Amino acid sequence: MEVRLNFCIIDSSGQPTFLSVCPVPGDSQLFYIHLQTSHYSFSIKKSCVARSGSSFYQLRSILKSHHPYLTMPSLPMLPSLWICSYHTISLQLVTFLSMVVAERELLSNKALHLFLQTELSMEKIKDNLEGKRDDEVFVPKSKIVKDDRNNAKEGFGALFGNVKNAGTKEDF
């Protein structure tokens, strides 16, 4: 049974951002985060990452320490992740993320972007904030330019046509 909860946030320009959180089948500790947006602050317009339930708490702690003047959206007590239903957990996680993404000041936070759009561990995300690493959110080249040519298998004959006995005496 798939539990997927979607949220739609409309930014100030009227562009929608869609967020969904659902459990990873076969792993009770991981959740998929699907993000689809046209907001200018995101490098990738459509992404899906898997995160542990505890990583949401680490993200909240990072955001709170870097933005102490903001009221951070809340998360349920961590032990509740072990006893609540997937539906309840997914609802609480997607509500948290939607409130974070709706906060304009948090959209400039590198940790948020790395969390939502890369598979970097929370340790590596923290290293980025401390200046030990400088990772970026980027679109893999394979997704920008799809090269489906088969030159290695077909050779240049497929591109330029087959040439039989070119340059032999019989051709002259």
Helix and strand counts by DSSP (H, E) for the chain: 8, 4
- 92 backbone dihedrals φ, ψ, rounded to 5°: -65, -40
Is the model's pLDDT at 14 over the cut of 90? no
127-134: long-range contacts, CB 8 A cutoff, minimum separation 24: 129/62, 129/66
Share of the chain above pLDDT 70, in %: 72
pLDDT digits (tens, 9 = 90+) for 116-138: 999 999 999 999 999 999 988 87
Overall average pLDDT of the 135-164 stretch: 63
Q: What does the alpha-carbon distance between residue 78 and residue 64 come to, in Å, rounded to a whole number?
A: 17
* pLDDT value at residue 28: 82
Size of the chain, expressed as the number of residues it contains? 172
* pLDDT value at residue 1: 41
Q: Answer yes or no: pTM beyond 0.85.
A: no
* pLDDT value at residue 86: 84
Contact 5, 20 (CB under 8 A): yes
The one-letter amino acid code at 143 reads K
In terms of average pLDDT, the best of 6-15, 26-35, 83-92 is 26-35
Q: Which of 3-12, 15-24, 113-122 has the lowest mean pLDDT?
A: 3-12
